[in-house]
């Protein structure tokens, strides 16, 4: 068969322009009888040649992934070669149209509608089909008006080329308002619990009243409300470290962060906000920005360490360094964590003004000192429940800690690459102990370093 293909190519090469061709003729053939002799074999090879050329030219989509979240939904197409595309929006009803050039309409694309979750806040359905020769069209039916953002990522880690489409709401949610509504819901739940307690016997009723007084504070008392931003590391396209058993760091960090938030919210003068509340990707600069949007007093980033050798173990706490890492291991870890945006996927053509400000405004010695104090208290508490990888707070250039005015720490809770510590990390009981230890460290820090006053205070009646 390949011999027939070679003869077909030779047949085509014998067509050429000659000066004495009659007017209107495009080509002339030197020796038609000799050329037409192998024609039956050549005609059999022609369709195969065209098929091979088409297969080599077209792009095959290897994977389609959808990451729904309240903040935005990410729609990702992955392939072994770059994807040529165009994106447009259509109104009445709202739709996003993606035209893919020279892409094969594979079963992966045909079945993409099954990947849409009914709870997705922005995408109602997805349709795919051959729009015209050489173009596959993907139509996203939206639930609301949206602002799409598309870009292509080059291969990194285990990923090939990725076409990323982020569907943002036309009016983005307000993180501070969401935090206040969350706080109001907690207080409402407390009130309902107090009403239910009125049915208890007198002894338990008295205990419930004392607990409510402790929760709310004394009548007329002004309490400074402390806000803690909790950052579950990684998420979405970025799984973080992966154990040999297949446990993802992003799942561990989210579970611990949720437990820590629940405990902080139960404190009378504290509230917590998560930088991500589900399995989706948030860029490093965006995590810092979200902490600022809720006026955070502290920033706590939760991670789970990994190393090539399974015997590495223990917990660590890190703060930012302006002048290099305190150890080679700290520098290596910071470099690895700072690559999260490459794996998770950010549009590098968009310049983030907050990141510029953060990188330029590093005159933050006082903030780093506070971070070290916070890290020391948290490390002491964690040392009561787990072996410490390092007995002191280490420092390195972690991008996620570069907030110029918010004390920030990064906690490596344990080594997910260590089988024994992995068992601890996936244990809900141990996760509760970790959350308790982190909260105790935060409270001890504020006992010794009361937060500065603000113009906004919470009046407790």
For the stretch 229-273, pLDDT in tens is: 999 999 999 999 999 999 999 999 999 999 999 999 999 999 999
The answer for residues whose C-beta is within 8 angstroms of residue 167's C-beta and 6 or more apart is 72, 73, 74, 75, 96, 122, 123, 140, 142, 146, 147, 148
For the stretch 24-48, pLDDT in tens is: 444 444 444 454 455 555 455 455 4
Fold of 217-459: Aminopeptidase (3.40.630)
Kindly state the percentage of the chain with pLDDT values over 90.
Answer: 56
Q: Where do you find CATH 3.40.630.40 in the chain?
A: 217-459
Q: How far apart are CA 288 and CA 233, in angstroms?
A: 12
Short-list 225, 245, 238, CA closest to 287: 238
Q: How far apart are CA 155 and CA 135, in angstroms?
A: 23
Top-level class of domain 61-169: mainly beta
Q: How far apart are CA 88 and CA 109, in angstroms?
A: 19
Q: Where do you find CATH 2.60.40.3500 in the chain?
A: 61-169
Give the tokens for residue 421. 């510590």
For the stretch 84-138, pLDDT in tens is: 999 999 999 999 999 999 999 988 899 999 999 999 999 999 999 999 999 999 9
Q: Which long-range contacts (CB under 8 A, 24 or more apart) does 177-180 make?
A: 179/227, 179/271, 179/273, 179/294
Mean pLDDT of the chain: 80
Confidence of residue 157 (pLDDT cuts 50, 70, 90): confident
The H or E element spanning position 446 is helix 428-448
Short-list 351, 346, 307, 297, CA closest to 329: 307
Short-list 358, 368, 416, CA closest to 395: 368
pLDDT score recorded for residue 456: 44
Beta bridge partners, 14, equal none
Mean per-residue pLDDT, 379-405: 92
Asked if 165 and 96 touch (Cβ cutoff 8 Å), the reply is yes
Q: How far apart are CA 230 and CA 238, in angstroms?
A: 18
For the stretch 407-450, pLDDT in tens is: 999 999 999 999 999 999 999 999 999 999 999 999 999 999 98
pLDDT score recorded for residue 308: 83
Per-residue burial over 46-65, b if 16 or more Cβ lie within 10 Å, else e, is eeebeeeeeeeebbebeebe
Confidence of residue 350 (pLDDT cuts 50, 70, 90): low
Torsion sign across C-alpha atoms 435, 441, 442, 447: positive
The answer for residues whose C-beta is within 8 angstroms of residue 281's C-beta and 6 or more apart is 67, 74, 235, 236, 237, 238, 344, 345
Instruction: State the residue for tokens 């051959």.
Output: 130
Provide the pairing of β-strand 316-320 with 408-415.
Answer: antiparallel
Among 180-189, 240-249, 363-372, the range with the most confident prediction by mean pLDDT is 240-249
For the stretch 211-223, pLDDT in tens is: 444 444 444 444 6
């Amino acid at each position: 068969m390949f011999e027939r293909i070679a003869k077909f190519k030779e047949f085509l090469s014998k067509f050429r322009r000659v000066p004495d061709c009659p007017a209107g003729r495009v080509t002339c053939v030197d020796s038609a009888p000799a050329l037409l002799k192998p024609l039956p074999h050549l005609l059999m090879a022609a369709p195969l040649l065209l098929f091979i050329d088409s297969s080599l030219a077209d792009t095959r989509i290897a994977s389609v992934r959808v990451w729904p979240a309240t903040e935005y939904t990410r729609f990702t197409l992955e392939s072994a070669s770059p994807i040529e595309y165009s994106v447009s929006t259509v109104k009445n009803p709202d739709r996003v149209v993606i035209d893919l050039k020279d892409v094969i309409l594979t079963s992966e694309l045909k079945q993409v509608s099954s990947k849409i979750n009914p709870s997705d806040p922005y995408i109602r359905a997805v349709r795919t089909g051959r729009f015209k020769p050489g173009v596959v069209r993907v139509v996203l039916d939206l639930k609301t008006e949206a602002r799409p953002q598309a870009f292509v990522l080059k291969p990194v880690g285990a990923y090939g080329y990725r076409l990323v489409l982020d569907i943002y709401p036309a009016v983005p949610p307000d993180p501070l308002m969401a935090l206040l509504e969350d706080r109001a819901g907690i207080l409402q739940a407390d009130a309902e619990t107090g009403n239910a307690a009125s049915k208890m016997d007198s002894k338990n009723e008295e205990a419930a009243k004392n607990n409510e007084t402790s929760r709310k504070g004394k009548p007329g008392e002004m309490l400074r409300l402390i806000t803690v931003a909790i950052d579950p590391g990684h998420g979405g396209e970025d799984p973080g470290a992966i154990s040999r058993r297949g446990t993802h760091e992003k799942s561990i960090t989210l579970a611990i962060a949720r437990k820590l938030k629940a405990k902080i919210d139960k404190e009378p003068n504290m509230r917590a906000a998560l930088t991500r509340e589900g399995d989706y990707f948030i860029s490093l600069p965006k995590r810092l920005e979200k902490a600022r949007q809720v006026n955070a007093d502290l920033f706590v980033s939760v991670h789970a360490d990994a190393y090539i050798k399974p015997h590495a173990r223990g917990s660590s706490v890190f703060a930012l360094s302006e002048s290099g890492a305190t150890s080679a291991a700290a520098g290596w870890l910071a470099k690895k964590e700072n690559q999260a945006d490459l794996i998770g996927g950010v549009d590098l053509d968009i310049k983030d003004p907050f990141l510029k400000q953060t990188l330029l405004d590093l005159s933050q010695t006082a903030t780093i000192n506070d971070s070290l104090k916070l890290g020391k208290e948290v490390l002491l508490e964690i040392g009561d429940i787990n072996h410490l990888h390092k007995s002191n707070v280490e420092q390195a250039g972690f991008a996620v800690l570069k907030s110029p005015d918010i004390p920030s720490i990064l906690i490596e809770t344990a080594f997910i690459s260590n089988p024994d510590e992995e068992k601890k990390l996936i244990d809900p009981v141990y996760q509760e102990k970790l959350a308790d230890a982190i909260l105790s460290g935060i409270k001890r820090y504020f006992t010794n370093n009361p937060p500065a006053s603000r113009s906004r205070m919470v009046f407790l009646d």
